[in-house]
Amino acid sequence: MTSKENQMEKLINPERLSWSEITKRPEVDNSNLRETVESVFTEVKAEGDSAVKKYTKQFDKVELFWTEVSSEEMELSVSRVSSELKSAIELAKNNIEKFHASQALKINEVETTPGVKCWQEARPIEKVGIYIPGGTAPLFSTVLMLAIPAKIAGCKEIVLCTPPNKEGKVADEILYAAQLTGVDKIFKVGGIQAIAALTFGTECIPKVDKIFGPGNQYVTAAKQLATQYGLAIDMPAGPSELLVMSDKTGNPAFIASDLLSQAEHGGDSQVIFVTNEVTMLQAVEEEVSKQIELLPRKDIAIKAIENSKLISFDSDQDIIDFINAYGPEHLILIAENEDFYMENLISAGSVFVGSYTPESAGDYASGTNHTLPTNGYAKAYSGVNLDSFTKKITFQKITRQGIQSIGPAIELMAEAEGLQAHKNAVTLRLAELKK
């Protein structure tokens, strides 16, 4: 990475007025995106499986006669996964289960007024679809991140869609993770057609209530279109991103490895390094240049690095304000005064604290979820968690004493809004109690 165009942009104390420009993500040409997505949706809705197979042949270059993964395929794939990798996946599964099980809603009954009890309970979303990218890196870890909390929440049906490879098969590791986590149905279908099939249902692929999982720009656009047909989605998600903040105590080699761990996801990924120690910029830049040469996905990482930045600020307050303005998907904090940053942090998907907490840990095995908001959506969205797979239902129970206590206030408020029937529903009960 010797040429200037292959280096991260370096900024020293950039003015706040420039932050909106600095925090922009790489632009993607979406000019034909909407039209393509709508066209596929229309066809899948009308023609079901035949349209799904047609677009699988067109986009994935493979002809499928049957889209669902058979039990024979499952058994064969599972047998091919090494015992070492199985053990690693099982360790990750256990940690993810522990963390997500701890998020279960505890029912707290509150008596708001004597005789008026209110409480909230969680109920599972019955049918969920999980999308697992195949592409250049089959993300079997995402199966764990989505299927495990779905199972803990009590979802009745988990449907997995993932694109087939050129032989019409699914990665062995994806199938092993799916079996381990109790996925109900697996389909060799990816891209727009998978999201459309989950939205409408086909002869083979069930219609679901909510769709989860990352994907490319076409999958993201398809998920957003699905919401117009009454489906829920986890969040708008785009290319991966990471911001690392480190003071002088950080290890430049560690920091560079973290930056590159996200840069290798895709050429449209973005990584940012922010520091209050200007000498760290050069040290990290040199390490990035050294390490990138050794990566199998070097060409992809280089493209991402061209979208990325090295930034130095004099003030800790400027740094935390910049982090909140950026709203990173992943944030690594390495600082002697880490408490200051954690206390003042407002917007981030997932935070990794200290030199020995790589972002990779959250991607795989620490227990937290790696399905996170990108493109600044961390300012308004949470990452996937147990709540993502449930609905919250409120309950209330009112006694005679309770309706007598709050009834007059309800009558007055309903009348003030001109809703006489609302008032009458209370008036009749109060009158009955006076008899």
- CB neighbours (10 Å) of residue 59? 16
**Calpha distance 144→46 (Å, rounded):** 33
Burial class (CB in 10 A: 0-12, 13-18, 19+), 376: buried
**Which of these, 98, 142, 122, lies nearest to 383 by C-alpha position?**
142
**Token pair of 225, please?**
């279109």
- The CA dihedral of 425, 429, 431, 434, to the nearest 10 degrees, is -160
Q: For residue 73, indicate whether it is catalytic.
A: no
**Which of these, 267, 254, 266, 259, lies nearest to 242 by C-alpha position?**
259
Each residue of 181-200: b (16+ CB within 10 Å) or e?
bebbbbbbbbbbbbbbbbbb
Q: For residue 265, indicate whether it is catalytic.
A: no
Residues 43, 241, 264, 329: which is the catalytic one?
329
Residues 330, 338, 343, 370: which is the catalytic one?
330
**Token pair of 405, please?**
């206590």
- The CA dihedral of 180, 329, 331, 2, to the nearest 10 degrees, is 100
The DSSP 8-state label assigned to residue 354 in this structure reads: S
List residues with catalytic annotation.
329-330
